[in-house]
Chain A
Amino acid sequence: MDKMVNIALPKGRLGEKVYRLFKEAGYECPSIEENNRKLIFENPEKGVRYFWVKPSDVAIYVERGAADIGVAGKDILLEYRPDVYELLDLKMGVCRMAVAAKKGFRDPKGETLRVATKFPNIAAAYYNEKCRDIDIIKLNGSIEIAPILGLSDVIVDIVETGTTLKENDLEPVETIVPISARLIANKAAYKFKNQQITAIRKGMEEQVQ
C-alpha cells in the first residue's frame, strides 16, 4: 500500500500560499517550485505527493480518497458537506459569508425574500434557522448584479474587503459565518496513515499559531 501522503492543493494564489505553509512545516517538494506544466509533484524523502486541483474540487478528491488530505475553503465544506475530517483552521484566505443588499435596503418582512447566491445550501440553512420564507435564485457568477437589476432582494456571497460590493452600491447587511482555508482529511486515510497525517497537522499548527 502506498505510504506517501497524497495532498490536494487548491490551484491559484491561495494554493501557493498553502504550499508555502506545508514547506515551512517541513514538507517541501522542490519540483513544485520549478516553473513547469506538471500536475503531480513528489518528494519521496518526505513522503508527500502534491497535486493541484480546482479549489471547489479539493473536498471531492479527499472525500473519495484520491487525496489523503487537502486544503479547502470553509464555504465549500459548508455548502457540499463532504464526509471528511476538518483538522485545522489555516487562518488563510480569511473572509466571511454575508448577506448583502442595495444601500438603504429594508427587509420586506411580510414577503418572501428573494436570495441570489452561489451557495444555496448555506443560504437555505441560514434563513431556515430564522424561519424566514425565501426564494433561492442559484447563480454561478456576477452575483452582485442580481439586486441591482431587481432579480433578487439580497445576495448571499463571500465578502473579502467589501470593495466589489461598494463599487456596485451594495453593502453587507449580516454576517453568516467567517470563512478561511481548512486542512481536511479522508476518514479512512486518517486511520491507515495516522502517524504521517498527525505529524503534518502538528507541523502546520505550529506554523499557524
Chain B
Amino acid sequence: MEKIISNIVYVASGIPATLELLLGGVVLGFTIGTVFSIMRYSGICSWFISGFISIIRGTPVILQLSLVYFALPALMGVRLNLLTAGIIAFGLNSSAYVAEILRSGIESIPKGQFEAAKTLGIPVFPMWKDIIMPQIVRNVFPAMVNEIIALLKETALIATIGGMDIMKMSQSIAAEQFEYFVPLCIAGGYYYSLVLFIEYIGKKVEKEMSYVKNS
C-alpha cells in the first residue's frame, strides 16, 4: 500500500510537464490554426496552407516530434530543449487539425453574414473578430474540446524522446521495479482525470456561450 502511494506521488511529478506541453500546444495550435483558416478562406497563400495541412495530417506525430527535436538542431544549428521542441511539434500538429475544424465552421456561416457586414461598412478585421468568429466558435466548440483532449493524450509521446511527463514517470517506475500494472494504471488515472476535467470545463463554457435559450 505504501509503495502504491509513493508511486502515485512519484508519477504526479510528471503532471507539470504534461500540462505545459498541453497548454503550449493548445495556444500555439489554436493561434496558428485560426490564422491559417482565415488566410486560406481569404485566398492568401492558400496553396501553402493546404500543403502544410496535408503533410501534417499525413505523417505520424512521433516523426514530427523527432524531426523538431533531433533533426532541426542539425539542420539549423539551434538546440531546443525538450519542452520547447514538444510544444512546437504538438502545436504545429494541432494547428492543422484546428484549421480544418475552423474551415468547416466558416463554411457553416451563411454567406449573407459576410455580406451583411460588408453592407454595414464593417472592415475585415472587426468582421472576423466580432461577427464571424463568435458564431464559428459556438458551432465548432465540441470539436475543439475534442482536439484538446486528443492533444493531451498525444503529449505522452514526449516520453519516447525523454520528456519527464506523466507517461515517462510511470515508465521509469515500471523499469525500476519490474512491475507494470500499478504504475501504468496510475498514469492512466491521471490522464483520465485530466480529460474529465477538460470535458467538465468544456460543457460549462458551451452552456455559458449559448444564445439559444429554451427557457
Whether both chains belong to one complex is answered with: no
